Amino acid sequence: MTFSVLDRDHLAQYTGGDAALQAELFGLLTSQIDNCTAKMRDADQPQAWKDAAHTLKGAARGVGAMALAEACAQAETRPHDEAALDAVLAEAEKTREAMAAA
């Protein structure tokens, strides 16, 4: 299954087309990306990894970053898996690019 990097229809429905709200949500997601991926990198316990992946998954789904959310869902079940973290980081970068272009 293919997931969209940024589902603009979902985002428009969620924000009611409010550009200021969209910008605020993008800022919040950017912060969550930074915080959660750092927590995943630094996690010394599987639960810390899972919690960070779960938090980022929810934030991503909220704004329609479905590919990032799916990468997080996969990572959530694979604590301390470097390939899973790499997939999250790759999707996070694509999401950042999509948000910058929106």
Which residues of the chain carry a pLDDT beneath 70? none
Q: What confidence score (pLDDT) does residue 15 get?
A: 94
Give me the chain's average pLDDT, please: 96
CA distances from 95 to 35, 39, 82 (A): 15, 19, 20
Burial class (CB in 10 A: 0-12, 13-18, 19+), 35: middle
Domains, in order of start, for the chain: 8-101 (1.20.120.160)
Q: What confidence score (pLDDT) does residue 2 get?
A: 87
Q: What confidence score (pLDDT) does residue 1 get?
A: 79
Q: What is the pTM of this model?
A: 0.95
